[in-house]
Amino acid sequence: MSEPYLFLSKLVRYVKLNWWRLTVPVKMKASGVRLNGKVQFFGMPIVSMVQGSEIEVDADAVLCSVSEMTALGVSRPVILRTLRPQARIKIGRDCGLSGTTVCAAQSISIGKECLIGADVLICDTDFHALPPEGRRFNDLAQAIRTAPITIEDNVFIGARSIVLKGVSIGCNSVIGAGSMVVADIPANVLAAGNPAKVIRAL
């Protein structure tokens, strides 16, 4: 690789990093997200909030929305979305999220020092009513099941896993890539599969 090309590539990277550092926190705060200290952004997340809801990100978290900044790449930006008033998303200190979708109708809490792999989906709602009659157009909150999600400290969720409503994942546990988490996972274990089951203790 030629020296001029290397210099140009480093320059472009430097400009991007500084542009994100200067502009993304401002846009996040303007969208209603509370940043509790310095949060690092690679690219611009997609954020949408219903009035009365909350999204909070603690210091030293890293949100990666562009493929060039993470080993596996991402198929989409980080998405943080609330669907109902009083819904809450909390992302703890020193977490890393890459192309992660976090969608809350009730509550999603992610503890500190968690690693959320590329394109993980975390949602606390069924989005639609389950009874077949009029399902497509039934948007009544009481007809759509929701349940809070709690991901405790130092959890590692592998790429393209899905975490569904009502789930708790205990501290230090690892969820294997591509898993479907539909029931609670205790602390200090490795779990994987569809549905995710405990494989062994850590």
Taking residues 144-155, what's their average pLDDT?
A: 97
Provide the mean pLDDT of the chain: 95
Helix (H, G, I), strand (E, B) or coil at 162: strand
The whole domain housing 176 covers 3-201
pLDDT of residue 9: 80
pLDDT of residue 11: 81
Taking residues 20-36, what's their average pLDDT?
A: 96
Residue in the block written with tokens 């997609």: 46
**Catalytic one of 76, 84, 93, 128:** 128
pLDDT of residue 7: 78
pLDDT of residue 6: 79
> What token pair was written down for 123?
């949602």
Instruction: Please check the confidence at residue 188 and state whether its pLDDT lies above 70.
Output: yes
Distance, first Cα to last Cα, the chain:
43
* Helix (H), strand (E), coil (C) string for 27-73: HHHHCCCEEECCCEEECCCEEECCCCCEEEEECCCEEECCHHHCCCC
Domain CATH number, residue 150: 2.160.10.10
Instruction: Please check the confidence at residue 139 and state whether its pLDDT lies above 90.
Output: no
Residue in the block written with tokens 């850590």: 202
pTM, two decimals, is: 0.93
**CA-closest candidate to residue 185, choices 160, 161, 155, 159:** 155
Number of domains in the chain: 1
Cα 134 to chain centroid, rounded = 31
pLDDT of residue 60: 98
Under the banding of pLDDT at 50, 70 and 90, the label for residue 4 is: confident
Q: How do 189-192 and 197-201 pair as beta strands?
A: antiparallel
Helix (H, G, I), strand (E, B) or coil at 95: coil
149 noted as active-site residue: no
pLDDT of residue 137: 86
Is there a contact between 54 and 88 (Cβ–Cβ < 8 Å)? yes
Under the banding of pLDDT at 50, 70 and 90, the label for residue 1 is: low
What is the tens place of the pLDDT at every residue in 73-130?
A: 999 999 999 999 999 999 999 999 999 999 999 999 999 999 999 999 999 999 999 8
One-character DSSP codes across 104-142: ESSEEEE-TT-EE-TT-EEESB-SS-SSSTTGGG---GG
What is the tens place of the pLDDT at every residue in 40-51?
A: 999 999 999 999
pLDDT of residue 3: 77
Taking residues 171-177, what's their average pLDDT?
A: 98
